[in-house]
Chains A and B, each alone.
Chain A
Amino acid sequence: MRIVQTRRISQVFFFCLFVWFCLVSTLGDRFFQIRGWPVNWFFQLDPLVALGTVLTTHSLYSWLFWALATILLTILFGRFFCGWVCPFGTLHHCAGYFAHRRQKASEKIRANAGHPLQRLKYIFLLVFLGAALVPSENGLLLIGLLDPITLVSRSFNLFLVPAADTFFHITSVKERMYQGGGLIFLVFWAAILANLIRPRLYCRFICPLGALLGLVSRLAVWRIGKTQEQCSDCKRCERFCEGGCAPSTGIRTSECVLCCNCLDPCPEQIITYQALADPAGADIQANISRRGFALSLVSGFLVVPAFRLENRSGRNWDTGIIRPPGALVEEEFLQRCIKCGQCIRICPTNVLQPAGLEHGLEALWSPVFNNRIGSSGCQLNCTACSQICPTAAIRPISLNEKLGREEFAGQGPVKIGTAFLERGRCLPWAMDKPCIVCEENCPLSPKAIFTRRVFVTIRNGRLQVKNIEADRINIAGATLEPGAYGSGDYYCLLGEERYKIRAGGSDYFMLARAVVPQDADLSVLEIQVRLQRPYVDIEKCTGCGICEHECPVNGRKAIRISAEGETRNPKRALLLKRS
C-alpha cells in the first residue's frame, strides 16, 4: 500500500473518531451517549493546550500529559499530527483539494508554493504565548480562540451538530440553542472557504498549533527531502504539497505536514523520507527574524495590561458572568479555560452558553449561564460540566460537594450566584396577580424562595352592600363579571371579617361561610385578592436559575440571577460570615 493511502486511512479514522466524540458528548448511558468515551482525547493530544496551561498555571494537568506523546512523536517524525491526525487539518485537506481540483498543474504548483506570510502563524503563536507568559499569575490564556482542535470542536459541538440534530433529535429532545453560534460558525466557515485562495490556508498561515509543531519539527530525526541536489526541477512534487513547504528546492521541514504527496510523483525518485539532511538547501526554515520574535512576544505581553485595565476582575467585575458550579476564581478560570465548549455541549439543560463579546474578548466563548435559554436552569443533581472540563477550569466536583452534603456539610453548597427579585415586574408584587412559580420550582429543601401572604384590595374593589342573606351578599348597582372572583383567590372584607368568595354573579357573591353578625359597618365591602409574595432567602439560594427560567414574566424576567454571592470568590460574598 502506498504511503499516501495509509495517510488517508489515518485521516479518515481520526476524523470519524472526532465526529463520534462530538456526537456522544451527550449525558446518558446508551452507547451513543457519554458513558466512558474519552471525548477529550483530541484536546489532550494538543500540545498547545498543554503548553498554554503550563505557562499560565505552572502545572501539566492530568490527562493533558498525552500531549507529550505528540511532542515526542513530532521530534522523531515531524508534523505528523497536522497531516495525519488533526480533524481540522483533514477538513482543510479535503476542502483545498476540491477547491483546486480543476486547476491546471501549473496553477496548483503556484497555489502550493511557499509564501513568506506563512510566518504569520508563528506571530500568532508568539503573541498567545507572550500573553500566557506574563508572570505573577497575570498570564492570559487566549490560545483557544485559534487553536485548531478547540476551534473545530466548538464549531461542531455548538453549531454543526445542533443544526443537524434539528432533524434527528439524537442529542436532545428539544432543539439545542447556542447564543452567538453564528459567530462561531462564521469563523469556521471563513477558515474553510479560505481554501479557495490556497489549500490549507488556515494550516499554513494561521494555525498556532501548526506553528508550535513546526518549531518542534526542526528537531525531527526523520524528514522528507531530496537525496541529491540536482533534479529536473519539474515541480511535480509541489503539485499537491499540503504544507507549502517547497520540496523541490530544499524542503522547509517546519512547514511540512508530512502529507507525502511529493514522494511518488518524482520521476527521478529522489524525494524520500529519510534520516539524512536534504542536500539541496539544508532545510530552509520559515524563519521569523529575531526582531519579529521579540516584537511578537512583547505584543503578547501588552495584551495582558490591555485587558486588565478593563478591571473586569476588580471592582468593575461583570455580574452577568455566571460560571458553572466548580469553576475556579475568575482569574484562574480564564487561565485554564480553552473555550473548547465541552461543558456547554454536555450540559443537559442547555443553560450553559458560550459568552459573547459583551463579556470581553478574554471571556469570548467561555461558559456562562443564560437562564432564558434551555430546558431549565442548572440542574440540582448534575455536575457534568465539572467532570468533562479537560483543563479543570471547572474543577471536578462531586454531587456532595455541589450540594454541601456529608463531608462538605461544613462548607455548605456551591453557589454560582444569587436570585434577585425585581418587585416592579413581579406579578404578585406589582400587579396584584397570584403566581409564585419561582417558589414552586425552587429545588432546594427547604426552599430558598418563600412567600408571605397578604390580602390586597383590588382596584375599584369597594362596593356597596345591598343586603346579606347568610352566605350570599347582594351588591347595590354593580355589574360584576360573573364568576370573575370565584376562583378561590378572592375574598370579601366585610367589617373586620374576611370571607372567601366561592362563586359570584353579576350582582352577588357566594361566600364560603355565612356572614357573622358584627358591630361594624356592613354597608360596604372590599374585594381582596389573596397574594403570596415571594422573597429570596439569600443564605439558602445557590443561584441555580431555575426560578429565572420558569418566571412567567418572559421578557426581562422578574427574578434573575446575578453573580453576587458566588462561593468561588469569597470577596463577592453578600453575607457576613460567622464562624
Chain B
Amino acid sequence: MKTSRFDRRAFLAKTGKAGVAMTAATAGALLLFDSQPPRPGLVRKTVTGLPDYSVGYDAGNTLSIVYGRDRKKTVNAALKLLGGIERFIKPGETVAIKPNVAFATPAALGATTNDELVAEVVRLCYRRGRAKKVIILDNPINDPASCFALSGVGRAAESAGAEIIMPREDLFADMTLAGGTLIRSWPVFLEPLLQVDKLIGIAPIKHHSRSGASMTMKNWYGLLGGRRNLFHQDINTIISELARMVTPTFVILDGTDVMMTNGPTGGSISDLRPTDTMIVSCDQVAADAFGASLLDLQIRELPYLSLAEQAGLGTSDYMRLQPLRASI
C-alpha cells in the first residue's frame, strides 16, 4: 500500500504554481479596479463641429446663376463665373460631395440630385481642380444601396472616378454642435468628412410640406444619423443648425427642374416644373433664398432662412451679393 509522503520537490512546484496564480489574480483585480460607479447613459466621445471648408468670398464672387437646360453646360458656366473650380480646389486635395440621394427613385423624377450633374462635378474636381480623390456620401432615408443604385448617382459618380461611402454605422460619431441647441450628442456621418479638404453640397429644389422647401441647407439632413425624424418637431431650427454645422466650400442648387408639389418624394413627372436654372454659391443661405423664388415662395415663408441669417450664416438678401448671371 502506498502512503503519501512529504516530497520537497513536489511541494515547491505546487507552492510556486499557487504563488503565480495568486499574483496573477491580484494583478488582474488591481488592473480592473474602479472606485467609481458607471456614468449614466451611453457616453461616447463627442466633437463640437466640422472643419470650415470654405474659401474666401466677397460680394461679386459668391453667387452665380446660369439659365439653361443642359446641366453640364450650366454648371460649368456657373463655376466659371465664380473663377472656375480651380479657385476652390487645390491640386492634391480630397473632396467630399454630398448629393441628396434620400429616395430610391429614378433620376428623372427629380427627388434626388441629378446623377449626370454629380458626375460632371466629380470630373471637374479631377480635371480642373486636380483633386487627389473625390468621395460621395449620404445617409439616405430609403435603403442606401437601393438609393444609390436607382437614382443613378452611384454608377455615374463611380464611372467619373469618385468613391461612394456608404453610411456604415462605424463612420458615425457623436457631435455636440457648438452654439447648437438640437444637435447635442447626436450621431453624425463624420468620419469621412474629417478626412477631406473640401466639401461641396449638390441639391435639387423640392417642395417640402413641413419646412416649405428642401434645398441646399436641408440637404445636410443626410449627414445626420440616429432618430433624426424627431427633429421635424422643430424643423426650422434644425435646418439652420445644419447650416451652422456645415460651412461648405460651395453649394450647387439645381433648378433645372423644380419639384413644385408632392415633395420631397415626388414620384411623378407632373410634380416637376422646368425652370432651367443652375445656382452655384459660396453662401448657402443666399442660394436657398434665390431657390425659394423658383418655388414661388417668399423668403419669409421659409423661417429657417431668417434663423440662419440671424445666426450670421449667410444672407437671404442675395441681390446684395451681386449675383453673376449668364444664359446658355
Q: Give residues in A with beta carbon < 8 Å to B.
A: 27-28, 169, 172-175, 348-350, 374-376, 379-382, 427, 433-437, 439-447, 451, 486-489, 500, 502-503, 512, 532, 546, 550-552, 554
Nearest chain A CB to B290 CB, angstrom units? 20
- CB contacts (< 8 Å) of B167 on chain A: these are 173-174
Encode B232-244 as 1/0 by CB contact (under 8 A) with A. 1111110000000
B106 contacts the other chain (CB 8 A): yes
| Closest B residue by C-beta to A451 | B209
What are 23 A-B contacts defined by CB distance under 8 Å?
Answer: A27-B146, A28-B149, A169-B166, A174-B168, A175-B169, A349-B142, A349-B146, A374-B143, A375-B144, A376-B142, A381-B104, A434-B233, A434-B234, A436-B210, A437-B232, A441-B141, A441-B265, A445-B262, A488-B303, A488-B307, A502-B306, A550-B141, A551-B229
- CB contacts (< 8 Å) of A440 on chain B: these are 208-210, 232, 264-265
B304 contacts the other chain (CB 8 A): yes
A552/B227 contact (C-beta < 8 A), A436-B232, A444-B267 known: yes
The residue that B232 contacts in the complex, of A374, A435, A546, with Cβ under 8 A, is A435
Q: Say yes or no: B143 contacts A381, CB within 8 Å.
A: no
B103 contacts the other chain (CB 8 A): yes
Interface centre among A447, A451, A512, A554 (most CB of B within 10 A): A447
A444 to B271, CA, bound (A): 11
A550/B145 contact (C-beta < 8 A), A434-B235, A487-B237 known: no
- CB contacts (< 8 Å) of B234 on chain A: these are 434, 487, 489
The residue that B303 contacts in the complex, of A174, A379, A502, A532, with Cβ under 8 A, is A502
The 9 closest A-B pairs by CB, nearest first: A488-B303, A445-B267, A445-B268, A552-B229, A375-B143, A488-B236, A173-B166, A349-B143, A437-B229
Nearest chain B CB to A283 CB, angstrom units? 55
- CB contacts (< 8 Å) of B233 on chain A: these are 427, 433-435, 552
The residue that B265 contacts in the complex, of A169, A350, A447, A488, with Cβ under 8 A, is A447
Nearest chain B CB to A288 CB, angstrom units? 50
Q: Give residues in B with beta carbon < 8 Å to A.
A: 103-106, 141-146, 149-150, 166-169, 208-210, 227, 229-230, 232-237, 261-262, 264-268, 270-271, 300, 303-304, 306-307, 310
- CB contacts (< 8 Å) of A446 on chain B: these are 261-262, 268
Q: Say yes or no: A381 contacts B236, CB within 8 Å.
A: no
A7 to B145, CA, bound (A): 40
The residue that B271 contacts in the complex, of A169, A445, A512, with Cβ under 8 A, is A445
A487 to B235, CA, bound (A): 8
- CB contacts (< 8 Å) of A444 on chain B: these are 265, 267
A447 to B208, CA, bound (A): 12
- CB contacts (< 8 Å) of A512 on chain B: these are 300
Nearest chain B CB to A448 CB, angstrom units? 11
| Closest A residue by C-beta to B300 | A512
| Closest B residue by C-beta to A175 | B169
Q: Say yes or no: A381 contacts B227, CB within 8 Å.
A: no
- CB contacts (< 8 Å) of A175 on chain B: these are 169
- CB contacts (< 8 Å) of B209 on chain A: these are 436, 439-440, 451, 532
- CB contacts (< 8 Å) of B310 on chain A: these are 503
Nearest chain A CB to B283 CB, angstrom units? 21
| Closest B residue by C-beta to A503 | B310
Q: Say yes or no: B144 contacts A174, CB within 8 Å.
A: yes
- CB contacts (< 8 Å) of A382 on chain B: these are 104, 146
- CB contacts (< 8 Å) of A173 on chain B: these are 144-145, 166-168
Q: Say yes or no: B106 contacts A381, CB within 8 Å.
A: yes
| Closest B residue by C-beta to A534 | B209
Q: Say yes or no: B141 contacts A172, CB within 8 Å.
A: no
- CB contacts (< 8 Å) of A376 on chain B: these are 104, 141-143
A487/B142 contact (C-beta < 8 A), A433-B233, A437-B229 known: no
Q: Say yes or no: B267 contacts A172, CB within 8 Å.
A: no
The residue that B266 contacts in the complex, of A348, A375, A445, with Cβ under 8 A, is A445
| Closest B residue by C-beta to A438 | B229
Q: Say yes or no: A447 contacts B146, CB within 8 Å.
A: no
A442 to B304, CA, bound (A): 24
Q: Say yes or no: B150 contacts A381, CB within 8 Å.
A: yes
The residue that A172 contacts in the complex, of B145, B230, B266, B306, with Cβ under 8 A, is B145
A434 to B209, CA, bound (A): 11
| Closest B residue by C-beta to A435 | B232
- CB contacts (< 8 Å) of A434 on chain B: these are 210, 232-235
- CB contacts (< 8 Å) of A488 on chain B: these are 236, 303-304, 307
- CB contacts (< 8 Å) of A28 on chain B: these are 145, 149
A4 to B304, CA, bound (A): 74
A500 to B298, CA, bound (A): 14
The residue that A380 contacts in the complex, of B105, B235, B262, with Cβ under 8 A, is B105
